[in-house]
Amino acid sequence: MKLHIHRCFLVLPLLLTFEGFGQKYMDMDSLKSELGSAGEDSTKVQLYISLGQQYEGNQPDSAIFLYEQALNLSKRLNYTRGIISYYTNITFVYNMLGKLDTSLFLNLQSVDIAREFGDQERLGTCLNNVATSYLSQEKYDSAIVYYLRSVEIFEGLGLTKKQSVIYSNIVAVYNDIQDYQKALLYTEKAIHFARQSDDTWQILLALNNGSLPLTNTGRYQDAIDLLNEGITICRDLDDEYTLNSMLSNLGDIYLKQNRIDEVFKIFEEGYTIAKKLEDSKGLCTHARGLAYYFLNKRNFNRAMFFANEALENAKKYNYQKQQQISYLLISDIYLAEGNLTAYNTFRYKNDSIQDVIANDKLQKNLQRLEEQYKAKLRDQQIEELKNEKTVQQLQYRTNQLILFSIVGFLLTFSILTLLLLRSARQKRQLLEKEKVIRKARIAELEKEKQLLASEAILKGQEEERHRLAKDLHDGLGGMLSGIKFSFSTMKENLIMTPENQRAFERSMDMLDSSIREMRRVAHNLMPESLIKFGLSASINDICKDITASGALKVNFQPIDLDKLLVDQPVLIIIYRIVQELLNNVMKHAGARNVLVQLIYRDGKLSLTVEDDGKGFDTTSINLSEGIGLSNIKSRIDYLGGTWDIQSDIGKGTTVTIDLIL
């Protein structure tokens, strides 16, 4: 079974540090105490920033509030370094919370401020943070450009400690575009510089991001060693956000190695943390991990519960890739259960979401190409402004730029419109298919309900017939036989007149007739010949009895019935159908002759009852008014058969029944 677990990486901005304060884990009580006694100066700005950094891992809202306080105070003091520190710190939190557009906007502002300030170190930091925002938005070309500009500045300044964060972020870029060899090269650099800096944040970032290319190139144990080291640090520092990401990556590796029991521990802890932090994407990842665990354990109910939770969470926050993976997981569960209809439905949903994702990716690519095109045209315009000698030539170039922009916009708009129409059509088709499936299922359930009701009625009838036959035979039959024996014994001890003798004999004849009639009724209720000798013999007895009674002449033709091997309840139902049809002929047809034909071939039983009676108008048949026909129909429906009645007034009636046994 192919596993589809979303791997997690972290991207961090470079945070400007102050004298005595960096992005380090510090004593929060001490910082709060210093903040309460600090004056309205740059030291208080530094305390706001440092205290905010302590809250980033578990209380991001508190961190944002503290950074906003630092910004407000820095503006009042005209403290440029504090303003830039606000941007570099708060954008990290916004990236972590998924507010990517806000983070990019603020980071671009910080670059302009750093350029005005004229400090290369600050400019390198801000360029790195812009690259991080582009990476979070999957704009890899822009991310690489800004990362390389940033690392070039720090290499020129000899600031090797700050290179660790940039290298870790570059690892994330190359891993995402599946250039794993370059990712591994930068992993070694990131871990090397992080350990030299002795900065816990940098170490965690390098360990977590470095585990991904190791995993993707099959070096599982090396990746596990890095993640276990990072998890230990996270637990010591109570950094649940980073811990959540590392648990997800570790669980992914254990799934690849089929270490199922260890998988449960990892994803269960991650699931609990994601719930606590209200981390929607982390909740999707860990819920799916638990679903794969229970699927491997063949606990389909629990697997479906967590898969549905991942899907509903992905739908709620519009995580399209997460939805697609969840649909694929649910289809795998249904396939394991043997439910092919549901499997095909969720496979179709997975394909539809894949199309939507492909459309979105195409839209992003078109947007990026359009932005690159516009940027190139702007650069050309600037160059032309330097070289052009006349305003007329400049106007000509401007008109060309406008025309190209309009054509590009119209082309992009047309492509997006076509993709949206295609997506809408696919959604409508999916809804129509689901509607048809639901209707078919409802009809199937209604039919099953009717069959169950028929089964209950038929079973009850046969049980009651069997009880009555037993009571008549064992109870009343025994009593009548006992009375006859007593009368016979009594006769030998009595002296009777000839007249009394004749009366006695008549009474004995009537008693014999009663015993025969009782046995006939008991036989009709539960034919002994059916149980002992089979269907052909029992139906032959019915036909002989009717013929012997003189009511009409019945001709029975069995063909290959000796090959019919079915359970006794089915034989009883067929017997009752024949019995009911013959009773109807005797009561209503006014016939002299009847043909009963039973043919069994290739698993199909065909019954034909044809009489030469008075016939009737078949359009006037009302099953609700005739108990006999209603009983026949319910028995045929129960066996899944079909029947047909052909009759003309004065020409007799033919009933044909086909059963697949």
For 63-73, how does the pLDDT look when each residue is reduced to its tens digit (9 = 90+)?
Answer: 899 999 998 99
On whether residue 45 sits in a domain, the answer given is: yes
Q: What are phi and psi of 591, to 5 degrees?
A: -90, 160
Q: Of all residues in the chain, what percent are helix, strand and coil, respectively (each to 5)? A: 75, 5, 15
Alpha helices in 493-526 (DSSP H): 498-525
Residue 534: give its domain's CATH number.
3.30.565.10
Burial pattern 452-474, b for ≥16 Cβ within 10 A else e, equals eebeeebeebbeebeeebeebbe
Better-scored residue on pLDDT, 442 or 89: 89
Cβ(206)–Cβ(190) under 8 Å?
A: yes
Closest CA to 157 of 185, 132, 123: 123
Task: Assess whether 153 and 205 both reside in one domain.
Answer: no
Reported as a pLDDT band with limits 50, 70 and 90, residue 4 is very low
CA distance 182 to 190: 12
Q: What percentage of the chain has pLDDT greater than the value 90?
A: 20
Tokens of 619: 């359009």
Segment 449-469 shows an average pLDDT of 59
| Per-residue confidence (pLDDT) for residue 604, from 0 to 100 | 92
Reported as a pLDDT band with limits 50, 70 and 90, residue 387 is low
Task: Assess whether 250 and 127 both reside in one domain.
Answer: no
Residue 28: give its domain's CATH number.
1.25.40.10
Q: What are phi and psi of 232, to 5 degrees?
A: -60, -45
Average pLDDT score over the chain? 79
Better-scored residue on pLDDT, 119 or 269: 269
Segment 296-319 shows an average pLDDT of 89
Tokens of 483: 């009375």
Number of domains in the chain: 3
- Tell whether the model's pLDDT for residue 2 goes beyond 50: no
Neighbours of 426 (CB within 10 A): 17
Task: Assess whether 28 and 139 both reside in one domain.
Answer: yes
Task: Assess whether 60 and 98 both reside in one domain.
Answer: yes
Q: Identity (one letter) of the amino acid at 77?
A: L
Task: Assess whether 27 and 154 both reside in one domain.
Answer: yes
- Tell whether the model's pLDDT for residue 355 goes beyond 90: no
Residues 6+ apart with CB under 8 A from 35: 44, 47, 48, 51
Reported as a pLDDT band with limits 50, 70 and 90, residue 357 is low
Task: Assess whether 213 and 83 both reside in one domain.
Answer: no
Domain boundary among 121, 138, 158: 158
On whether residue 459 sits in a domain, the answer given is: no
Task: Assess whether 76 and 198 both reside in one domain.
Answer: no
Lowest mean pLDDT among 235-249, 281-295, 406-420: 406-420
On whether residue 72 sits in a domain, the answer given is: yes
Better-scored residue on pLDDT, 638 or 513: 638
Task: Assess whether 15 and 149 both reside in one domain.
Answer: yes
Better-scored residue on pLDDT, 246 or 479: 246
Segment 563-584 shows an average pLDDT of 87
On whether residue 381 sits in a domain, the answer given is: no
Task: Assess whether 136 and 165 both reside in one domain.
Answer: no
Neighbours of 331 (CB within 10 A): 21
Tokens of 228: 């276990």
- Tell whether the model's pLDDT for residue 18 goes beyond 50: no
Task: Assess whether 148 and 14 both reside in one domain.
Answer: yes
Q: What percentage of the chain has pLDDT greater than the value 70?
A: 78
The per-residue pLDDT for range 498-510, each reduced to its tens digit, is 777 777 777 777 7
| Per-residue confidence (pLDDT) for residue 36, from 0 to 100 | 82
On whether residue 83 sits in a domain, the answer given is: yes
CA distance 115 to 388: 29
- Tell whether the model's pLDDT for residue 558 goes beyond 60: yes
Reported as a pLDDT band with limits 50, 70 and 90, residue 301 is very high
Strands of the sheet with 593-601, listed across from one edge:
553-559, 593-601, 604-611, 653-660, 642-647
| Per-residue confidence (pLDDT) for residue 598, from 0 to 100 | 94
- The parent domain of residue 238 ranges over 160-255
- Tell whether the model's pLDDT for residue 109 goes beyond 90: no
Domain boundary among 158, 180, 212: 158
Segment 283-312 shows an average pLDDT of 91
Domain boundary among 220, 255, 290: 255
- DSSP-assigned states of every residue in 303-330: HHHHHHHHHHHHHHTT-HHHHHHHHHHH
| Per-residue confidence (pLDDT) for residue 505, from 0 to 100 | 75
Task: Assess whether 655 and 574 both reside in one domain.
Answer: yes
- Tell whether the model's pLDDT for residue 386 goes beyond 70: no
CA distance 488 to 495: 13
Longest dimension (CA), the chain: 158
